[in-house]
Amino acid sequence: MRKISRRWIAAAVAVLIMSAALTIAGAGKVRVPDYDQKLAAAQLMQACMDRIKEYKREAGLAVSGEDIHNTGLIGAPYTMVTTTIGVLEAKRTTANPDMAAMAVQLLKEAGVSPGDRVGAAFSGSFPGLNLAVLSACQVMEVELVYICSAGASTYGANQPELTFPEMAQRLVEDGLLFQEGAAVSMGGDFDCGMEMEPGLRDDILARLRTLGPEVIWEEDFQKNLSLRREYYEKEGPICCFIGVGGSITTLGLAEDQLDWGVTPPGTIQKITKNSGLMEIFNYEGRPVIHLLNIKELAAGYGLAYDPHRLPHPGESAVYFTTRYPRWWAAGGLAAAAGLLLWGRRKGRETAALLCMLLLMAGCGGKELGGEACVEPPAASGQAEPLTPREGFSPELLPGAETDPGDWTLADFPGILEGTPADRAEYVLMEGTELENTVLVLRGEEEGPAIYLVAGVHGDETAGWMAGNLLKDAPLRGGTLYILSPANPYGAEHDQRNTASDRDMNRNFPGDPQGWDAEQMAAAVFEDIRDKAPDLVLDLHEARVHQGERDNLGNSVICQSLDEIGDLVIQLTLSSEGGALCASPITLYGSPPPGSVNRVVTLELGIPVITVETCREESLAQRVRNQLELVEFVLMYYGLR
């Protein structure tokens, strides 16, 4: 078979990279089509917040000193009706009118349209989120059937003189909101406020009975759920369910199985006697919207977490999308195709390369929400197993008879050869069940620092195996921090998630008081902040190409090419030319919300490269690909 000349390939790739850079450089923010609707929801929420401040003033309640934005939605550190501990920063984050714009977005992602009927459970813990949902539904002309509890965690609507059900009812009476609650409850233990001071609880209960909505007082969990369902579906079925906060009737008595944001219908495959309404409605085929895990929720929709200044409604990222000029992408594709056609010799290689160019340029003219993104092609069926490129020798891999658990760097000849660097280590989350060790390698010369995270997903074996092998790497200079595996439980049990079955790579920047995945993410995030490396390397593996799933193959993912654009170009060109890895590497982006890549880049300003190796290749080949990619980066930064 006759081959196309490499110089023509290199020229075509260079033209395409240049056109991609010009396309990105020419990107501009434009308003989303529903900008006016989102803005109207935010303005309505702001009007409700202003009125609640008046209600508090009438009740003799001063604006809290912790309410740095003077929103009127921040409660007391503790009162005799406080149900549980809350996070002040999360409460301040949700006291932002742009949360209503985010709620519009969430409802549309869940498939909710004007005239639809939606159910919601409100907790007094997050009055800002309650108002956001109420405002969004009213502006979207969605019928909202909601049940609200009076109990609240610290810094929520926990002042006994004015509970959230009373705030909401007064907003209806004053004509700002149109939808009354379907029912109210005390919330807290057994949904009857059993942990509250009895005298205050009885006083609040008496006031709730005068509001209009019926009061639910039912200690039995199953009976309570049945009663609530009667209210939600009294006028017909609901098409979506929204849970705000963490009440037992919403989340259930067992561990929460749902991630923040929108969960598509039917995600929950099994319910038990401990399941709450969110799991039940989802199991029955309805989308649910989970408004909790505020750090991840805010980051996922471009809203600041506990900002020093609240933006004016209409300024946040949730109101905008990124538009890319089509002409640079189209021109680059045409020029690259022309170069290949000019320099080709007939054969299937040309057709394959043209297809690759089409895929690489296909995203250039799309409007993408939030960050720049290159989308992988949709899968149409089982892919053919990948095979090494011509010239790749099996002698570069460990023999099939060797145990992967016994592999060393010496089993991968020609890579990372030399005397291991000086080693030190320190412990993250010391003294807890989740403690983990970071190994530190230092070269003899001064130089940059790189922080390597491997095995955030425990079943992505090649990533954390390569990370472990790198602990014996030689360095000429600089510092290499290695956390591998970052999810030890997942690696030990060959599962993607943590012991609580949560995806650590959807929980950055984490929460030191949250679930295990949140605690681990918080420890890693803070350690990266403390070490302030020049680059973070995040080692992963792509899923097998199957059904309609995306197939990332061998690839690198970047949230931003700032500071690392030249490195990524050199890496991909070296791969395409056959000098790096057993098969070509493709550039994809952007990483998902809550990932170490996206959050570290956006919040800390530190560039991150995520490495994905394709699980259709052998484990030994995948490990070598990981090691070669890491050595390439170390050499680029002068550590090798």
For residue 518, give the 3-state DSSP assignment.
helix
For residue 351, give the 3-state DSSP assignment.
helix
> Residue 379 falls within a domain, yes or no?
no
**What is the pTM for the complete model shown?**
0.54
> Residue 461 falls within a domain, yes or no?
yes
Which residues share a beta bridge with 540?
612
Same domain for 309 and 331, yes or no, is: no
> Residue 279 falls within a domain, yes or no?
yes
> Residue 413 falls within a domain, yes or no?
no
Query: Which of 369, 387, 404 marks a domain boundary?
Result: 369
In degrees to the nearest 10, what's the CA dihedral of 73, 254, 298, 45? -40
Mean pLDDT for back-to-back runs of 10 residues, the chain (640 residues):
58 70 65 92 95 93 89 89 87 94 95 94 93 96 94 89 93 93 89 84 89 88 92 91 89 77 90 90 93 87 85 85 66 66 48 44 35 33 43 68 84 88 94 95 93 95 94 94 96 92 92 92 96 96 54 78 83 76 76 90 93 86 91 92
Same domain for 197 and 305, yes or no, is: yes
Domain enclosing residue 75, as ranges: 35-318
pLDDT at res. 21: 67
> Residue 414 falls within a domain, yes or no?
no
Q: Token digits for 180? A: 């009354």
CATH of the domain at 484: 3.40.630.10
> Residue 410 falls within a domain, yes or no?
no
Please give the tally of structural domains in the chain. 3
Same domain for 298 and 333, yes or no, is: no
Which residues share a beta bridge with 480?
441, 450
Same domain for 429 and 358, yes or no, is: no
> Residue 622 falls within a domain, yes or no?
yes
Same domain for 555 and 442, yes or no, is: yes
Quickly count: other Cβ atoms within 10 Å of residue 424's Cβ: 10
For residue 521, give the 3-state DSSP assignment.
helix
> Residue 399 falls within a domain, yes or no?
no
Quickly count: other Cβ atoms within 10 Å of residue 610's Cβ: 26
Same domain for 539 and 459, yes or no, is: yes
Same domain for 426 and 364, yes or no, is: no
Q: Token digits for 568? A: 């990524």
Same domain for 201 and 332, yes or no, is: no
Q: With the C-alpha atoms ordered 167, 169, 174, 178, is the resulting torsion angle positive or negative?
A: positive
pLDDT at res. 324: 63
pLDDT at res. 198: 87
CA distance 73 to 223: 32
CA distance 225 to 551: 41
Q: Which of 220, 218, 193 is nearest to 204 (CA)?
A: 193
Same domain for 358 and 427, yes or no, is: no
CA distance 106 to 111: 9
pLDDT at res. 79: 85
Q: Which of 269, 267, 181, 280 is nearest to 224 (CA)?
A: 280
Task: Quote the distance between the C-alpha of residue 582 and its chain's center.
Answer: 31
pLDDT at res. 528: 96
Same domain for 17 and 39, yes or no, is: no
Same domain for 593 and 464, yes or no, is: yes
Same domain for 201 and 330, yes or no, is: no
pLDDT at res. 377: 33
